Chains A and B, each alone.
Chain A
């Protein structure tokens, strides 16, 4: 095996960081070179992701079995407290790694128009990408935590410096909320560390996979009350990220104020970290509590679906509407996971992947119209369909994908969630299905107000979507459509692992 094969996950993680370092060394005023370096540094993970996909063995599960992980890199980092540099991929993380590579590159292209301090912007953006990749690749809790937190700083600055009018408020709100979640996670991490034993060495360990072997837990950690508290500590940390009602209030602010490309990253990838964390860490480490907490999770997910959709309907700001639609869509992930059935789990994971693409499109599209009209008031437009037909076409595709029209990936994901969850929570699923109607309603209503009806004369000369923007949108639109018709490539990627995950949780029932 060559160097690239042995370190493929590290390369995907740290190539963007290397790009950031190069950018920081550039002299002032070389904006185009800086942008090119950023594009290259964020593009390189894509061929690596393709290679990863090609080489991935879909028949082994991973999840809680160390030797079933692929592309593993395992080194000692801080031997005195057993912190390890432990990376690996399985079916839970593969879709997320691929999604991160694609969306990050498109977001860099989408940032091409940034004028203000481009050097700092691109360097921070690449640092952010390193953090995201690292989260999805790490199997050591300490490492996971470091990457998780490394994302906060660049995100704070990216929203705070390059954002909209209320950017300072939005940035610090995002930062405080997420830090609150992560310090709880830190305490749980240390509690796990001190109350479990690495069976190989007899010492304490940060290795997540060891925590998943219930036999490594000591008597204190076997107590159900303790486990509930620890589970809830982690759950709040992840729920803030998802974000789940009632921890969602940072999201509309952050999404609305962030610059377009950063909203794309926020909605497309960052939100998935919450649900990913539940799948990767909470569920397999605390299967018993997961079963105990399944119903509340399903209820919270359903609240997200319905409440998010209702909020979206009430918005007059197009970006805020899209932001709330994310709240609603992430609710499906939680509902599917809480069902603890293979179909529900796969549906949730596929929803993460699919929503990552669809919402990225939506935020790109909102950015396009905002760049030209300098406002996002849904009622301030009207009849744009006649002026900008190509743009209208893309918005229509994205909206239909988002409202779950058959033929798009969102439909597959949501129907799998419903199928998976129906056996477990009948009433809740019926309520959640009502959410779908509202989701469809606000999408269509917005579409009608912006693109149909009499033309608002102010926008008779509105500029059509340009080639660079089309370049950002086309791959996402094509993938949404392709995986909506033929989802098997992605489903195969995660099936084995997610079935194992359900088994791991179910065996304690």
Chain B
């Protein structure tokens, strides 16, 4: 059932709430005198909070197709909207705390941030390749601006420049791939493309198109070999934006990757979730190798990093590799594992970055050496960071372990043991560099012992991120259920 434009509006409330907030922020920007007031942050919080609430109220079933088949409203889209809105809220909290951003124009920052959010909402829901491309650019362009937001800081400018060049190339390749698909099928609607390809024999250019599209998505999720931009961008961008990029757009990238391949290349019933184009190319092997290479490269390079932001950048590449494990078989159970992992990843990764911001505020640096003696200087921050890092490693009783179990489970269930073994060894490697930070915080004799107090507000936010990280490691049934229910994709 395709809903018409006007009928769709009532089911488009979260997006409209975000749009309205952006417009309001522009008005505030024009009218406001004080560029440092907290008003834009609070306004954005209210707007995103309202959007999150509206998302929560949206009916997940039956899946509906809005705006004449442009975007879908299904469990999958709702899941990603909620996830990205939640990430944005945490990032707003971070931005309010960050010293890097103090003294810079606030309203523009939040306008860009919310534009990315709007883009992510649409990206996760796009069912048409034109819509998909537009929303991808809506995510990318404000992200470039945000990465370079520390005007005057060389690394930030470099980050923005690199990001633009890589991003433009990747999206150029992707849209070239889309043009193939359109040429072969005569439609831009993803489900329609899938049907046409299923009916006829898929000619060679389809494979080419699939690879080109993968480049675009691979760029967004920072999968090797399309990851080159991410360490520099992550290091140069303001830390809240680094945190945001490592969770929000990455999640949206996974959403679009899954939706695109699932609608276009999976078998229509999708129960078995097999690759429809299976006979000619071993897609499982192809994406399995992509996953294995991504996690290995991310982890191995992370070992040598001295800057914590850069280290976390490589670690987030590795995590994209882990999450790709859920994708290689294109089964609902595997996709569920990705969704579950994204939830726990949101808490643990944003939590780690939040502590990085606090430490940077207190010590003025982001090098591992700056964390020396943190266990004594600020036990709360140090213990929380240790929790987040061990969760990222995937050690019980933290949520990251459960996330990994689900990702491992599906590849093992389908007999792709080599990938499971590589991923398991990668976990061991990752422990080494996460533990380096822990070592500096707790094990080594501190170079400085002055106290580094954590105020009540950041303390509360960190607790709100740390408690789920622990709780979801002990009892995760509800989240697993939500993830399982959210794998209902609209396939028409």
- Select which of B417, B431, B443, B477 is within 8 A of A160 by beta carbon: B443
Please tell me if the beta carbons of A183 and B409 are within 8 angstroms of each other in the complex: no
Rounded to whole Å, the gap between the CB of A199 and the closest CB of chain B is: 20
CB-CB under 8 A for A186 and B390, given A80-B477, A176-B432: no
The dominant DSSP class at the A interface is helix
Please tell me if the beta carbons of B444 and A146 are within 8 angstroms of each other in the complex: no
Name B406's closest neighbour in chain A (CB-CB).
A81
- Select which of B421, B444, B475 is within 8 A of A187 by beta carbon: B421
Residues of B within 8 A of A485 (CB): none
Rounded to whole Å, the gap between the CB of A49 and the closest CB of chain B is: 24
Name B413's closest neighbour in chain A (CB-CB).
A194
Interface string of A120-157 (1 = CB under 8 A from B): 00000000000000000000000001100110110011
Rounded to whole Å, the gap between the CB of B428 and the closest CB of chain A is: 5
Rounded to whole Å, the gap between the CB of A140 and the closest CB of chain B is: 13
CA distance A191 to B409 in the complex (A): 8
Residues of A within 8 A of B421 (CB): 187
- Select which of B443, B444, B481 is within 8 A of A80 by beta carbon: B481
Residues of A within 8 A of B413 (CB): 190, 194
Please tell me if the beta carbons of A79 and B477 are within 8 angstroms of each other in the complex: yes
Please tell me if the beta carbons of A175 and B435 are within 8 angstroms of each other in the complex: yes
Interface residue? A180 (CB, 8 A): yes
Rounded to whole Å, the gap between the CB of A351 and the closest CB of chain B is: 30
Interface residue? A78 (CB, 8 A): yes
Interface residue? A505 (CB, 8 A): no
Residues of A within 8 A of B412 (CB): 187, 190-191, 194
Name A157's closest neighbour in chain B (CB-CB).
B442
Most chain A CB atoms below 10 A, which of B421, B431, B481:
B431
- Select which of A77, A161, A179 is within 8 A of B427 by beta carbon: A179
Please tell me if the beta carbons of B443 and A171 are within 8 angstroms of each other in the complex: yes
Residues of B within 8 A of A184 (CB): 424
Interface string of B182-196 (1 = CB under 8 A from A): 000000000000000
CA distance A183 to B401 in the complex (A): 11
Interface residue? A272 (CB, 8 A): no
- Select which of A78, A153, A160, A171 is within 8 A of B390 by beta carbon: A153
Q: Which of A150-202 contact B (CB under 8 A)?
A: 150, 152-153, 156-157, 160-161, 167-168, 171-172, 175-176, 179-180, 183-184, 186-187, 190-191, 193-194
CB-CB under 8 A for A190 and B477, given A150-B397, A157-B442: no
Interface residue? B225 (CB, 8 A): no
Residues of A within 8 A of B353 (CB): none
CA distance A182 to B176 in the complex (A): 46
Residues of A within 8 A of B477 (CB): 78-80
CA distance A171 to B440 in the complex (A): 13
- Select which of B417, B431, B442, B444 is within 8 A of A176 by beta carbon: B431
Q: How many interface residues does chain A have, given as a range?
A: 20 to 34
Name B440's closest neighbour in chain A (CB-CB).
A168
CA distance A183 to B397 in the complex (A): 14
- Select which of B409, B424, B442 is within 8 A of A194 by beta carbon: B409
Please tell me if the beta carbons of A149 and B395 are within 8 angstroms of each other in the complex: yes
CA distance A160 to B395 in the complex (A): 18
- Select which of A79, A157, A179 is within 8 A of B428 by beta carbon: A179
Interface string of B180-223 (1 = CB under 8 A from A): 00000000000000000000000000000000000000000000
Interface residue? B275 (CB, 8 A): no
Please tell me if the beta carbons of B476 and A168 are within 8 angstroms of each other in the complex: no
Please tell me if the beta carbons of B405 and A190 are within 8 angstroms of each other in the complex: yes
Residues of B within 8 A of A183 (CB): 424-425, 427-428
Please tell me if the beta carbons of B395 and A176 are within 8 angstroms of each other in the complex: no
CB-CB under 8 A for A190 and B432, given A160-B443, A168-B444: no
Residues of B within 8 A of A145 (CB): 396
Q: How many interface residues does chain B have, given as a range?
A: 20 to 34
Name B427's closest neighbour in chain A (CB-CB).
A183
Please tell me if the beta carbons of B481 and A172 are within 8 angstroms of each other in the complex: no
CB-CB under 8 A for A179 and B409, given A80-B477, A184-B424, A187-B417: no
Name A220's closest neighbour in chain B (CB-CB).
B415
- Select which of A153, A186, A191 is within 8 A of B405 by beta carbon: A186
CA distance A463 to B412 in the complex (A): 60
Name A183's closest neighbour in chain B (CB-CB).
B424
Please tell me if the beta carbons of A78 and B395 are within 8 angstroms of each other in the complex: no
CA distance A153 to B439 in the complex (A): 12
Please tell me if the beta carbons of A186 and B443 are within 8 angstroms of each other in the complex: no
Interface residue? B480 (CB, 8 A): yes
CA distance A153 to B476 in the complex (A): 21
Please tell me if the beta carbons of A190 and B409 are within 8 angstroms of each other in the complex: yes
- Select which of B408, B425, B435 is within 8 A of A172 by beta carbon: B435
Q: Which of A54-89 contact B (CB under 8 A)?
A: 77-81
CA distance A152 to B438 in the complex (A): 14
Interface residue? B146 (CB, 8 A): no
Please tell me if the beta carbons of A187 and B431 are within 8 angstroms of each other in the complex: no
CA distance A361 to B476 in the complex (A): 42
CA distance A156 to B386 in the complex (A): 12
Interface residue? B243 (CB, 8 A): no
CA distance A172 to B431 in the complex (A): 9
Rounded to whole Å, the gap between the CB of A188 and the closest CB of chain B is: 10
CB-CB under 8 A for A80 and B396, given A183-B425, A191-B412: no
Please tell me if the beta carbons of B395 and A172 are within 8 angstroms of each other in the complex: no
Name B404's closest neighbour in chain A (CB-CB).
A186
Residues of A within 8 A of B390 (CB): 153
Residues of B within 8 A of A150 (CB): 396-397
Residues of B within 8 A of A190 (CB): 405, 408-409, 412-413, 420
Name B390's closest neighbour in chain A (CB-CB).
A153
CA distance A25 to B427 in the complex (A): 33
Known: A146-B396, A186-B405, A187-B420. 13 other contacts (CB 8 A): A78-B475, A78-B477, A78-B480, A81-B480, A145-B396, A149-B396, A168-B444, A172-B439, A175-B435, A176-B431, A183-B427, A191-B412, A194-B412
* 29 A-B pairs whose Cβ atoms sit less than 8 Å apart in the complex: A78-B477, A79-B477, A80-B477, A80-B480, A80-B484, A149-B401, A153-B390, A153-B395, A157-B442, A160-B442, A160-B443, A168-B439, A171-B439, A172-B432, A172-B439, A175-B431, A176-B431, A179-B395, A183-B424, A183-B427, A186-B408, A187-B417, A187-B420, A187-B424, A190-B405, A190-B412, A191-B417, A193-B409, A194-B412
